[in-house]
Structure 1
């Protein structure tokens, strides 16, 4: 996914470049801390009692609370070979969602690696040009990871046609990546009222709409209901946080132009 305001994606010493025909399920390099955490989370999933995927997303995302934030985690560009990064020691907002989504569908480490690749890359190919650089790619590229339910959540939703990756000054955010025209549907923050919040579900992927040319969103996280009220669970780069936190949902929404909502079943 695209590195955007407040949430850039990832770079890791334990990553490996892709040789032709690599079986990433067995070849992926995983550090000991990450390996132990993967096993712990897979055990949590196994003991969840057959919850639906969205509830697994909420459950597993909760286990990351307190994980340190790390910017610019992913490695690869149009001129640098893409690396498969698997690092639970630090996460940014996009890799956090990648990991949670892949874990929610996995029973063992090998399956997790395969599902992570399917989540992060179009058609499961570890390549910079195949990486899902934009949040809405999850609902618009193969394999589909979630449905865009923004318009169903609010009758006040607005659709804006954007040229993703095209800057307002004529340049590109990511050189070498094609410009893609896409309709982005969002709910203006002023219309995110109690009725809208009531239509959100545990495990919904929620993002802050970008009012900049060429971007769909600027930050992503997970909606969850807690004893303290609804929260925006996210890998926060704010100095006061610098880790995965639960931000009060209503407070967070007031700070952004609007929200985009994707849903898994």
Structure 2
């Protein structure tokens, strides 16, 4: 895994804007990358949301995987980092660019407003606990906002019960959590909410039979048997030339790529994987 290094040599610009609730942290490199990306995707023919998700996602191919790019500064800010991505920020940025592309409003302010809407509970940045840390809550909250629909049950998913508490029981792993009791209590509130909800997963051994129901552009979240944790990885479904669904994702092995194997076979090599959740962009 490559170390986060851009803060050491890139001067950060702080963009204050009335379009969002907090300051945006964005390097000059990423502001330029935003402008280049907008220019690139503006040339794309307007298609459905799923096809647009895949087309925009593939413009990030080769972008390095870097973890914890959102853990910057002393307080939670809206971080825009387009040259280093983890699996979640990859999906968030692709979704934000897709929504901006479909709306024909391509300003930086509109992009950051859209990114904030996706990343935070009810679309409002209000401190570290307002970030949608658990991806099951990310799915349910973005469904509430009308951005996506959880289709896991509709494609054969099964309701499961599992206690979610990984963050609160591993607080030392999270820079904004390990020494902040107020943040910890609010994270526990999120966990309690999740533990009061039912959610579905499509078991790993049933994905092949239901693969035809997954569409290019669907958001795929990998469920896990790890105690206290819901999701370990996420990406975007893409039906490739072989007619099979593959995973377009920021791979922990190094960069944004399309899985060489179809999703069904790729998951067999993922330790502790139990299946997937699937969400469709509206």
Global fold match (TM > 0.5): yes
Q: Indicate how the Cα distance of structure 1 residues 16 and 215 shifts in structure 2: closer, same or farther if over 3 A, else same.
A: farther
Counterpart position of 1:67:
63
CA distance in 2, matches of 1:84, 1:11: 18
In 1, distance between residues paired with 2:30 and 2:231? 28
Unaligned runs of 5+ in 2: 101-105, 172-176, 178-183
What is the CA–CA distance in structure 1 between the aligned matches of 2:26 and 2:169, rounded to whole Å?
Answer: 36
Q: Does 1:93 align with 2:87?
A: yes
- Over residues 218-244 of structure 1, what are the superposed CA-to-partner deviations in whole Å (9 max), with x where a residue is unaligned? 100110012244311111112xxx011
Corresponding residue of 2:153? 151
Deviations 1:57-83 (A, max 9, x none): 111101011000101111279xx4112
Query: Which structure 1 residue ranges, 5 or more long, are not aligned?
Result: 1-5
Match of 1:253 in 2: 267
Partner of 2:139: 139
**Normalised by the size of structure 1, how large is the TM-score?**
0.81
Between stretches 199-208 and 119-128, larger displacement belongs to: 119-128
* Structure with the higher helix share, 1 or 2: 2
Secondary structure of 1:60's match?
Answer: helix
RMSD: 2.9
CA contact (8 A) 2:96 2:118 kept: yes
Instruction: Give the aligned partner of residue 243 of structure 1.
Output: 255
* Residues in 1 aligned to 2:44 and 2:146: alpha-carbon distance in whole angstroms: 24
In the alignment, is the contact (CA less than 8 A) between 1:160 and 1:183 conserved in 2? yes
Relative to structure 1, the CA distance from residue 152 to residue 125 in structure 2 (aligned partners, 3 Å threshold; closer, same or farther) is same
TM-score of the superposition, structure 2-length normalised? 0.77
Q: Give aligned pairs, total.
A: 246
Could you say which residue in structure 2 is the equivalent of 1:171?
A: 169
Distance 1:158 1:202, change over 3 A: same
Whole-Å separation in 2 of the counterparts to 1:196 and 1:108: 39
The reply on whether 1:183 has 2:160 as its aligned counterpart is: no
Q: For 1:58 and 1:188, how far apart are their aligned partners in 2? A: 24
